[in-house]
Amino acid sequence: MNGGIILATIIALTNQKGGVGKTTTSSALAAGLVSFYNKKVLAIDLDPQGSLGFSLGLDIEDCRSIHDVLTGQALIQEAIQETDYCDVITSNILLSSAELEFTSSDRQFLLKKALQPVVSNYDYIVIDTPPALNILTVNAYACANHLIIPMAPEILSLLGVTQLKETIDSARETLNPQLNVLGIILTKFNKRTLLAREVKEMAENVALQMGTCVFENQIRTSVSVAEAPAHGLSIFDHSPSAKPSEDYKNFIHEVITMTSAEASQEVK
């Protein structure tokens, strides 16, 4: 609570390893919060590849982007676009020069400052981060209430999560003491394989060390997940009866339950 104004719950999805379903999970989370829970959601793409905006049906080239906002070329309100699912601020390849462009002393807090005019307009802000630990990721950590870590059931993906722990600890010390890891979500999951079951067990151990958990629901693998972005549709509209749609719906219920409980405690 902030003087009677309710601020958005900000969730950043993060993993320095690529190909773990981070953008797919960001898109599903943003669309699902609106579709199933009637929440007002802003999705922000901090990945220079621009996949989140594309996945939600936007032209990511001919518009104001998060790069324009963070470099002071546009107000955040000018960069917000409406989609069938939620409001979105897109990204594009210009953002790849952020490490060189962001040189001010407050460079870690550019996104936090940019969000201030709109943070009370939404229930949730979902941030998709790049697969790297750079200034863009740091900006997401500086303003987020919660992190969600998507992870594929592979050893290298597990290693990436282990390395992430140090970065999150550092962010808590220097940028955002309240930063909470909501959980690790296992994607591309096939419980019939021994590797998937073993990695799940190891992920639970890593989660314990991070003071968090592995979400109860895993996202099963399916071609429908890869097809949905090409149509500019959420997984729920493209393949409502597919297994990943069911899994993401259950995962979002977990997110709602966990973040609502935390918000209630803060109010008390």
Where residue 19 falls (left for φ over 0; alpha for ψ -120 to 50; beta otherwise) is: left
Predicted local confidence at residue 268, as pLDDT: 41
Kindly state whether residue 104 falls inside one of the protein's structural domains.
Answer: yes
Burial class (CB in 10 A: 0-12, 13-18, 19+), 88: buried
Kindly state whether residue 3 falls inside one of the protein's structural domains.
Answer: no
Kindly state whether residue 2 falls inside one of the protein's structural domains.
Answer: no
Give the closest residue to 46 by CA, choosing from 139, 118, 115: 139
Kindly state whether residue 1 falls inside one of the protein's structural domains.
Answer: no
- How far apart (Å, rounded) are the C-alpha atoms in residues 256 and 228? 24
Q: What is the CATH number of the domain that holds 50?
A: 3.40.50.300
Predicted local confidence at residue 222, as pLDDT: 80
Kindly state whether residue 4 falls inside one of the protein's structural domains.
Answer: no
Kindly state whether residue 83 falls inside one of the protein's structural domains.
Answer: yes
Mean pLDDT in order along the chain per 10 residues (268 residues)? 76 91 94 96 95 86 91 96 94 91 93 97 97 92 97 87 89 96 95 92 94 96 78 84 94 96 52
- Domain limits at 141? 9-267
Which phi and psi angles does 44 have, rounded to 5°? -120, 130
Predicted local confidence at residue 186, as pLDDT: 96
- How far apart (Å, rounded) are the C-alpha atoms in residues 194 and 200? 10
Domain total for the chain? 1
Predicted local confidence at residue 261, as pLDDT: 67
